[in-house]
Structure 1
Amino acid sequence: MSDPVGSWRPRRALTAMASIGWALAAASAPAQTAPPFAQLYNDTRNAPHQIALDAEVDRAEGLARQAQARPNPTLSVMTENVAGQSPYRGFDRSENTLQVNQAIEIGGKRSSRIAAGTAGVVAANARTRDARLAYAYDLAIAYGAAEIADRRIELAEDEVDEASADMRAVRALVQAGKEARLRRLQVETEVNALRALVDAARAERVGAYARLAALAGEETGFTDLAEPLLPRFETKTGYGPIDPLQTAPYLAAKAERDAARQRVSAARRQANPDLTVSVGVRRLETDKANALIAGLSVPLPLFDRNRGNVDAAEADLRAAEARDAGTLLNVKAEIAAALALNEAADARMAAADRTLLTAQEAYRLARIAYEAGKSPLLELLAARHVMGAARGVVLDAAAARLEARARLAHLDGTTITGEPVQ
């Protein structure tokens, strides 16, 4: 399919002042060309958003490693039977003990904690993939917005060129006495108004490129795009299918649910008391002899059975299960909507193409009729306005198709250009 958005006639220069002003504005700050979208996305690994996502996974992995740690042993030194009354006034009858105490986790506390940490890493990776897909969607929309901003400038400049050509035709007819001077003033006023629209479109372009650079983590900014994105999308006969159970949002919610279950298990096992084994050696100064000592202690779970943490973990689990079920419903609805929107976007694009072709032909015939004196100026202006509106409709349809493709790619687990996101 041809790309009517990019098939507008080559632009002619506007005015010297506008060109110089735009050149000075572009040269006032260092900038660069944005690479093709796929390369730009791959180059954003050091963007602040991506770094934050990597840190979230690193945090979960650190917690998982910590969950594997065993309790540290305790070393104690104790002296008895000293600094008392006779015969314990000195150190002659002292008993000195060197002891090592080691807590031993029983009841599956450590294994459940490790399982919860591992599930947390899985959940963090799932959340990160979903967030990367959302970032790829946002980047595609920003990239398309920059391209659309360029196209809007082209559209506005084309309208200025065509209005200027109409103005020259009107001036010729005024000089020949076939049109009133008022008509020339009307056309000149319209040309000036269209030139103001060009300036507004350029200002919008600056904002669009600034947002793209900020999202990509580029401080120098972009001035243009290395490769257009809009022409990549062709009309398709069908879309899908997409398995809702394999979408990133659902997999993230499912991983969160599984991690919550593991945390409940860990909280319940945390109530099991730890067994503390003590081993040491005691020096008996009275007998001038050494003796081994050993002990075993276990706390009585009379007051603290970790019920508050268990209740909190169970509440988190119920919330995670509800989010999991809700996410699945939302994903199914999103898939149905995305498939329908892509079909509609293709139909809208085809209709916009036909509308533009009809409007261009109507303007051409109106121009011929006006120059031949067979139609009034108002018909020519109306035909040109319709053609300008048709170009805007084509551009809006292209933007809608870009957004529809980006939504579908997000659900399908890829970027808008088809690269898988991990």
Structure 2
Amino acid sequence: MLMSFSRPQWAVEFAVTVTAILFALSARAKPAPPYESLIESLDRIPITLEVEALLDAANARAQQARALPNPSVSVETENVYGRAPFFGYDAAESTLTLSQPLELWGQRGARIDAAQAEAKVAALRRDQTQWTVAGGLALIYSEAEAASLQCELAVEALELTKADANAVMLLIEEGREPSLRGIQANSEVEAARAAADEARANRDAAFARLTAAAMLVEPVTAIEPSLLNRSPDALFQGMDTPLTVQIAEAELEATTKSVSVERLRARPAVSVSLGVRRFQEYNTEAFTFGINVSLPLFDKNKGAISAAQAEQRAAAARLTTAKLQIQADRTAAQARLDASMTRIRAADNGVTSAEKAYQLARAGFDVGRISQLELRSIRSALISARNTAVNARLVRVRAEVELAGLDGRAPF
């Protein structure tokens, strides 16, 4: 078992049977890779591949932003095939012109800064997604482990119920209990068998979810080593600036850069040209120079500037919200984690007490001092206490996953 509880001394008669069953299952079962191995291969998870691709795209746009605008070449011929004196091609004037747009007013630098800011946001989102996936994988891993452990506990509960039923049958044969008690005992056995079947189905479903989430080639049939029994690092300190705040700050910076880009786009577009003109009639050439400046009379890019400023305000609001919420969220998550550890200690103590109570109740039942109803109630308390201990550990994993997500790290 992945988490052990002390067994009552009287349970030796069926413990050997349970151990043999579990050993036979474990002999055929191939444990899932450890959690550390799974998070080391996060680059195979589709959502991780997606954010990596988005980061590559952002880096490519940042690289493209450094490119200079392409020059243009034009050829123009005048004074040909007209009326006299421009018959034919003899009076032609042909001009070859090379034009180059100029990025003035800091337009190129602003464009580069904006693209780099977007790439920074993409990198931080990639990190956040990786930690989120790692946390989700930890939760699925622990849920599969809990389902496996609860299946084992359900099998043990079935064996307990069978042992109690056999004891009832002996008392009936001795005439110390009415036949009705046997019917009740058999009903309890069937209910325990149904619960074991349900737990086994839940375990198989949890194993299937883990196999799919981790993209494993072979299906998971066992969990080893345990994640439920692992305690979080109490000495870990969260980063000075939480990842959520870092992303909000990067988004605000990117929107601020976008405002600068849009404002500079409203400036006149300037290009210069250099050309050579051929005078066919005089059989000679001459250079031409030119400059082209757009006049921003109708399109002053006001709509794009307003949109960029609105996005900037939205990013600033998100940053303020993140700063206000993150500390409260982290404090609450840490409190839930601390409470879960206290709950585990209480649950383990409850298991110990329930096992002692059941041991005494069973001994009392065998000598006729405890009724079947009392024995059933105490056995139910034992089964409930064991499952509560498993659930308490699962709650601790969930609290650690939540805290790790706020800190920007993998759980445990």
What TM-score does the superposition give when structure 1 sets the normalisation length?
Answer: 0.90
Q: What is the SS of the residue equivalent to 1:279? A: strand
Cα pair 2:5 2:351 within 8 Å, conserved: no
Aligned to 2:53: 55
> Residue type matched to 1:39 in 2?
S
In the alignment, the residues of structure 1 paired with residue 374 and residue 391 of structure 2 have an alpha-carbon distance, to the nearest angstrom, of: 25
Q: Which runs of 4+ in 1 moved over 6 A?
A: none
Aligned to 1:87: 85
In the alignment, the residues of structure 2 paired with residue 11 and residue 92 of structure 1 have an alpha-carbon distance, to the nearest angstrom, of: 113
Deviation at 1:321, TM superposition (A): 0.6
Q: What is the SS of the residue equivalent to 1:223? A: coil
- Correspondent of 1:99 among 97, 100, 112: 97
> Residue type matched to 2:358 in 1?
Y
**Distance of aligned partners of 1:161 and 1:307 in 2 relative to their CA distance in 1, 3 Å threshold:** same
Q: Which runs of 5+ in 2 are unaligned?
A: 8-14
Cα pair 1:349 1:394 within 8 Å, conserved: yes
Aligned to 2:238: 242
Aligned pairs, number: 405
In the alignment, the residues of structure 1 paired with residue 294 and residue 91 of structure 2 have an alpha-carbon distance, to the nearest angstrom, of: 33
Cα pair 1:4 1:394 within 8 Å, conserved: no
1:377 aligns with 2:372: yes
- Correspondent of 1:268 among 263, 268, 272: 263
Cα pair 1:359 1:390 within 8 Å, conserved: yes
1:24-173 counterparts in 2 under 5 A? 33-173=31-171
Aligned to 2:405: 410
In the alignment, the residues of structure 2 paired with residue 183 and residue 404 of structure 1 have an alpha-carbon distance, to the nearest angstrom, of: 45
Cα pair 1:137 1:416 within 8 Å, conserved: yes
Percent identity between the two aligned chains = 36
1:334-390: CA deviations, max 9, x gaps?
111011111111111111111111111111000000001112111111110011111
Deviation at 1:156, TM superposition (A): 0.5
Cα pair 2:6 2:355 within 8 Å, conserved: no
**Distance of aligned partners of 1:35 and 1:128 in 2 relative to their CA distance in 1, 3 Å threshold:** same
Bigger CA drift: 218-227 or 299-308?
Answer: 218-227
1:3-24: CA deviations, max 9, x gaps?
99433655735999xx99x99x
> Residue type matched to 1:397 in 2?
A
Cα pair 1:14 1:161 within 8 Å, conserved: no
Aligned to 1:252: 247
Deviation at 1:274, TM superposition (A): 2.1
Q: What is the SS of the residue equivalent to 2:285? A: strand
> Residue type matched to 2:17 in 1?
R
Aligned to 2:385: 390
In the alignment, the residues of structure 2 paired with residue 14 and residue 190 of structure 1 have an alpha-carbon distance, to the nearest angstrom, of: 22
1:333-344 counterparts in 2 under 5 A? 333-344=328-339
Cα pair 1:153 1:198 within 8 Å, conserved: yes
1:214-225 counterparts in 2 under 5 A? 214-218=212-216, 220-225=218-223
Q: What is the SS of the residue equivalent to 1:296? A: strand
RMSD of aligned alpha carbons: 2.5
Aligned to 2:224: 226
**Distance of aligned partners of 1:241 and 1:43 in 2 relative to their CA distance in 1, 3 Å threshold:** closer
Q: What is the SS of the residue equivalent to 2:294? A: coil
- Correspondent of 2:176 among 173, 178, 183: 178
**Distance of aligned partners of 1:4 and 1:359 in 2 relative to their CA distance in 1, 3 Å threshold:** farther
- Correspondent of 1:358 among 353, 358, 363: 353
Cα pair 2:71 2:99 within 8 Å, conserved: yes
1:190 aligns with 2:178: no
Aligned to 2:10: none
Q: What is the SS of the residue equivalent to 2:278? A: strand
What TM-score does the superposition give when structure 2 sets the normalisation length?
Answer: 0.92
